[in-house]
Structure 1
Amino acid sequence: MSPQVPKGDGFAYMSDKLLKAGKLLSSIKDEDVDVGATPKTLVMRRDKVELFRYTPLTEQKVKTPVLLAYGLIGRYTMADLQEDRSLVRSLLQEGLDLWLVDWGQPNRSERWLTIDDYVDDYIHAAVERVCRETGYDKITLLGICEGGVFTTCYAALHPDKVKGLVLTITPIDFHADRDDPDTHHGFLNVWTRSLDRADIDRLVDVYGGLPGEFMSSVFSLMTPMRSLTKYNIDLIDVIDDEAKLMNFLRMEKWLADRPAHPGEAAKQWLKDLYQDNKLVKGDFVLSGRRVDLSKVTAPVLNVFALNDHIIPPTCSRALRAHVGTKDYSEIELPGGHVGLFVSSKSQGSLTKGISEWLSARD
């Protein structure tokens, strides 16, 4: 939407607007754009991976600890973008004991890390430490996107450690988009399946992983008009409104903070999952063990966005047919991949759905 220019001297209006915007922008420092600012305490560090415990914001109502795991493509700060649009803060206000596993900033030194390492080493070590700190034998896992795939694999391989599994915007059947009625869903799936396997190897061999800038360009090309207009239309529309401008800048900061995806794990992600669809076929192997989704016996809550063009809803819905638990629930919400977490429309519904589901099984 373009800015509404009042009748009369449009030039004077824009001049005043840009003057005010210039003063506002000159007063904003990088530290003012504070993403991921909800208070938390470092509990454990293993290589670059860190385990945090969030500071409670109210009396604890859900006793079972909840461990949040984001994916390697992007940063967990999307779930804690700002105070009034933060899944993390909203869940804390519902009385959850919330923990976070932060993958840090991988680079070429993580070239040889595999999904096996992230699931059977880092997540397992985090779960063990949470259990030791809280005295619980089992905890709940909350996975987002690729992190949801990791936590699903963990729940299948270590069912004795998982009391509940909450997934959000998580791909399970990476080929289910072929049956999706919405033609704008699944562009990423189609593109990834079209990649030559040798080219994937060359990319990883040259850079040591998937560069964050490369993945940013891929996501930008999926919504070309949005990418072309956000700086010359959206930004101008909010540039003299401090609250709206800070919202815009926080989102841009999160988008720019895209780490490289570790090399061998990237090969598994692109070839084994996106191209070969091994997870639902029962052929995905981690640490010498086949990931059998029927071994997921803990209760499952599966949340997805109906307008998600990155992870089509059909790819998430497929989980129902493969898990071994009968306590399976779904929540479908309006919005897109990122909008599910930052949109004011979905924020309340997402938090309420998760907290009520957890409370009923605590």
Structure 2
Amino acid sequence: MDPHEFSRQLADRAARTPSKLGQAPSRTLQLAAAKPGETPYEIVHEEPPVRLRRYEPERPATDATPVVIAYAFINDPSILDFAPKRSVVRTLLDRGLPVYVVDWGDPSPLDRSLGLDDYVRRFLANCVDAVRERHGADAVHLLGYSTSVPLAVAYAALFPDRVRTLALQGPPIDFHAGDDMELFRSLAAEQDHERIVATFDAVPTPLLELGLACRKPVEYTVTTPLRLWDQLDDAAFVEEQGRKLEWITGGPHVPGRLYREFVEGLLLENRLIENELELGGRRVDLASIEAPTLLVLGTEDAYVPRAASVPLLEAIESDDTDVLELPTGHVGLSVSAVAHERGWPQVADWFVERNA
């Protein structure tokens, strides 16, 4: 940065400090009170620790194929309903699509033996079956998000007749896609995962968040707080940051076995894209996927680069595939203005065009 510009910014911050100090108490209360997840829902299926949410439609129910969202198993799904005008759930509801979200819940130490097979062939399969039964539908639109993308892909390969379409948001598929995946693979650095699993029956999500934060210490400890201070007089910005903080601190734990199998089988051995993953004695054959498939990618995604996602399209047999790229990051795919202005309306239309 130019020294003169840096000096100007310092002077500007100093001049605005008294005003911000006066606003700090009210802004702190606003930050603490901001919460995502305002759209009403009911629990229609429960198999502890997993619960299936059905969101109330904005208009009378239609005959549209329902959407089942397999949300990331290390975060709280409230980010899918981030704010009234930035809600993945509401955008889909507005298109007349019934929406269900798999909330993986918070496993207890007694759930430490739950693994990938349980999450795919038991929990996700039972949630999809519950939705199919409620709607009398043969298949659903299946949307996988981030760390649950491999689960959704595996399910689509094992039960292809139950998946009308497959949409994947920020999808990590090829974990050996070069240095750009280093941040994601840091979860397995120096065999840390073995010590973590040996220590915890259910791995605390804050520990995983800390591991990622340590890879970007300046951003987490300096840049983000400084950005908040700079925009403390912007009520909308403070509200957004409060919602993000609430979401970040609300993630569930991860069963020890699931964490180990994800790290060893997917991150380290890359079994999914190599067609070597087995669940319940069955090989997950990606060529079994013939459903229309959509990848939703962020061009600024620091966790999952494009190269880690697109290899899936070469591995499946679908002749209806597409890639939607948006100028935002991994989390921005759910919460940014551009994602909701240009992205999710297109995704909703893509689903509607492929209804039964």
TM-score, normalised to structure 2's length? 0.91
> What aligned pairs does 1:285-296 form with structure 2 within 5 A after superposition?
285-296=278-289
Cα deviation, residue 20, structure 1: 2.1
Q: How many pairs align?
A: 350
On the 8 A contact 1:172/1:316 being kept in 2, the answer is: yes
Is 2:275 the counterpart of 1:274?
A: no
Alignment match of 1:352 (pick from 345, 348, 355) = 345
> What aligned pairs does 1:24-43 form with structure 2 within 5 A after superposition?
24-26=27-29, 28=30, 32-43=33-44
CA distance in 2 between partners of 1:76 and 1:9 (Å): 36
TM-score, normalised to structure 1's length? 0.90
- Are residues 294 and 346 of structure 1, via their aligned partners in 2, closer, same or farther at CA, if it must alter by over 3 Å? same
Cα deviation, residue 353, structure 1: 2.1
Is 2:347 the counterpart of 1:361?
A: no
Q: Which amino acid aligns with 1:162?
A: V
Which SS does the other structure have where 2:143 is aligned?
Answer: strand
Cα deviation, residue 169, structure 1: 0.7
**Matching residue of 2:19:** 16
- Are residues 81 and 268 of structure 1, via their aligned partners in 2, closer, same or farther at CA, if it must alter by over 3 Å? same
On the 8 A contact 1:305/1:340 being kept in 2, the answer is: yes
CA distance in 2 between partners of 1:272 and 1:110 (Å): 20
Q: Which amino acid aligns with 2:18?
A: S
CA distance in 2 between partners of 1:107 and 1:29 (Å): 30
- Are residues 17 and 262 of structure 1, via their aligned partners in 2, closer, same or farther at CA, if it must alter by over 3 Å? same
**Matching residue of 2:206:** 213
CA distance in 2 between partners of 1:190 and 1:63 (Å): 39
> What aligned pairs does 1:1-362 form with structure 2 within 5 A after superposition?
10=14, 13-26=16-29, 28=30, 32-59=33-60, 63-176=64-177, 178=178, 185-192=180-187, 194-196=189-191, 199-230=192-223, 232-362=225-355
Q: Deviations over 1:88-127 (max 9, x none)?
A: 1222222211111101122322211001101111111111
- Are residues 231 and 323 of structure 1, via their aligned partners in 2, closer, same or farther at CA, if it must alter by over 3 Å? closer
- Are residues 200 and 29 of structure 1, via their aligned partners in 2, closer, same or farther at CA, if it must alter by over 3 Å? closer
- Are residues 160 and 29 of structure 1, via their aligned partners in 2, closer, same or farther at CA, if it must alter by over 3 Å? same
Q: Which amino acid aligns with 2:130?
A: R
- Are residues 269 and 8 of structure 1, via their aligned partners in 2, closer, same or farther at CA, if it must alter by over 3 Å? closer
Cα deviation, residue 21, structure 1: 2.2
On the 8 A contact 2:175/2:181 being kept in 1, the answer is: no
- Are residues 52 and 10 of structure 1, via their aligned partners in 2, closer, same or farther at CA, if it must alter by over 3 Å? closer
On the 8 A contact 1:216/1:258 being kept in 2, the answer is: no
Q: Which amino acid aligns with 1:240?
A: D
- Are residues 251 and 192 of structure 1, via their aligned partners in 2, closer, same or farther at CA, if it must alter by over 3 Å? closer
Which SS does the other structure have where 1:234 is aligned?
Answer: helix
On the 8 A contact 1:42/1:50 being kept in 2, the answer is: yes
